[in-house]
Structure formats: C-alpha cells, structure tokens
Amino acid sequence: MQKFEIRAALPEDEDGLYEVAHHLDTVNLPDDRDAIRGILEHSHKSFTGSIKDPKRREYVFVLRDVVQNRIIGTSMIIAQLGRRDAPYIYLDVIDEERYSSTLDKHFKHTVLSIGYSYNGPTEIGGLVMLPEYRLAPERLGLLISYVRFLYVRMHRDLFRDEVLAELLPPLEADGTSHLWDALGRHFTDMTYADADRLSKKNKEFIRGLFPEGSIYASLLPRQAQEVIGKVGAQTRGVEKMLRRIGFRYAERVDPFDGGPHFVAQTDEISLVARAAPRKVGKLLADDAPGKTKALVASESPGPPYFVAVPTVIELYGAEECAIGLGAAEHLGLTLGHDVWVLPLD
C-alpha cells in the first residue's frame, strides 16, 4: 500500500490545510481560516484552468499520510510574482565603500534600495510540514518541495524563465521583525504582521509610503542590520537544498523582514532538467533493491487533477521506465500509460 501521496489541493482540504498553516503562519499560508478557504479556491481554479490568465494562477500541493488520511505538509507555486496591479517589491542590497585620504578613513556600508518589477519571476513558497513528520525516513520535506519543480517541468509554458524563493530571516519568538520595526513601521504605522498580511492583497501602500532612493543600513539599529539577507534557523535546510539544485542569493531581500531572495534560471534548475515524460514498460516490487527512488506523477481531467507518489523506478531506453507496483496501483497505471518521472538520487 502506498503510504504517502502528493496531490493538488482541493476545496475540501480546508480543515487539513488549516491545521498545517497553524504551525508557521506565513503570508503565503496564514493561520486564518477565511484566507485558507480563498487560497484553496484560487488553487482549484488554477489547476482546472478556470483562471484564464496563466500569470495569475497559484498552485497548492498537499502531502497526505494515506494510512492516517491526514494532510501533513504543503507547498505552492505562484506562476508570476509581479504584475501591473501587484508589483514584485524588493530591496536591493548594495555594498558601498567610502574612503577619505584626508582622514585616512575607510568605511564599507550596506545600502538598501527599493525596487519594483511588473513582469517578475515564478515564485515557489508556502512550504510547511507538520513537526512530527519532519524527521521521517522518507524525507517527506524534500518530496513536498521537489514536487513543485516536477510540475513546472510538466507545464513549462505556464511559468517564467526565472524562479524565486524567498526565505524567512531570523525572527523573534513572537514573530517580531527587527528590520520592520527599525524601518517599515516608521513609514506605515503598521505592525509587521498586519503589513505582511495586507501586502498579499494590496501593495499600493508600500509604494505610497516607503521612501524612494537609498537607505544606509548603518543608520539602523544593530539588531536590524544583522538580519538583512540572513536565513532563519527554520529555513537553513531549505537554503541548502536550493543551493544544491542551482539557486543563488540574488543580493535582494524582502522589504518587510530582510529575508533573502534566492533565484535560478528555470531550465538550469537540476530538478527541472531531470524530470521527463516516460511510458510505463514494467512493474517492480516496491522493495526492489538497487533501484532509483523517484517521484512519479500522473494527471487527470477531474479531481484531484494531479497526483505524485514516491516509488522505485528503473529507466531504460529513451522513453520507458519501470515503476513500483504499489505506485502503479495507487495512480491507476498499467503498462503503456504515460507518466512523469523525477529521479531523486
């Protein structure tokens, strides 16, 4: 029996997704039932194509413990970050050096410069796992993260040529952002949580109230300076994964909390390049030794539209593969069926 599956989120997943969101409460997946309901509705319309403009689609994936019938993790793809009605807003982080021969003084400053993009990248985000599953031997966190790159490859024409991942910086236990308290709050009179939440729906207040031009970080309190471009403890594993598959720090940060932005050219991401369509040519025992582990995915015109499962595979020839019997049964596949395969080893 297949123990875990990843599939497109459905409107009836509201309770399960709300439980997962409660453990992190981010702007992409807030701890708010009404917001979760809206996210699921938007995702459902994205998978079905009811949202006609591909740039406006947002896809949510859920990782299920099949045995317990429980949603234990989630991740998301935002097809395009940055449009005319909702720009991608960031702070460029620039190193500036100053020297006075008169005083023989040399200083190196970090300068923050706000930027806007109306034709931005695809964003991956919303990655959350229930704590009790994070150390499972199946490496479930990687599966729910990797599935986004498999889906991008399956529908490459729907996504941009650059992919962005925004990582959380160090935050205080109560969610306080030192950068926001030192900078953004002075220009908006809003808390970090309220501003972050509002920015998901409306970014006009940022352009209307934030200062234009350069901001010298050396004028900010030390605690605020220290979080700029830094990765918080809870996302260091994600940073390692991103670097391993081809992402790099973009010298840009979130204007609210200073979290670093990582980017990669879509077709140069190793997982995107590695994913490929195949035909099922053989079936394997699920515990077949010496076989490659992979995510195998199939799609259907009706709910849940997209399903992927971890299994063992064997690639042979240019177009065929063998997959585990349990995965084939779970996906309803027989010999000759088309599948998408993302090798994990």
Residue by residue, DSSP assigns 80-129 as -S-BTTB-EEEEEEEEEEEEETTTTEEEEEEEEEEEEESS--EEEEEEEE
Q: Which domains does the chain have, with CATH numbers?
A: 1-80+120-160 (3.40.630.30), 82-118+170-230+240-262 (no CATH), 276-337 (no CATH)
C-alpha–C-alpha distance, residues 196 and 257, integer Å: 9
Q: What per-residue confidence (pLDDT) applies to 253?
A: 97
| Cβ atoms 314, 324 nearer than 8 A | no
Residue among 9, 163, 148 nearest 77 (CA): 148
pLDDT > 90 in the chain, percent: 78
Structure confidence by residue, pLDDT tens digits, 52-65? 999 999 999 999 99
Q: What per-residue confidence (pLDDT) applies to 202?
A: 84
Structure confidence by residue, pLDDT tens digits, 310-338? 999 999 988 999 999 999 999 999 999 99
The answer on pLDDT for 345 being more than 80 is no
The answer on pLDDT for 1 being more than 90 is no
| Cβ atoms 208, 237 nearer than 8 A | no
Mean pLDDT of the 73-83 span: 95
- Residue 293 is which amino acid? K
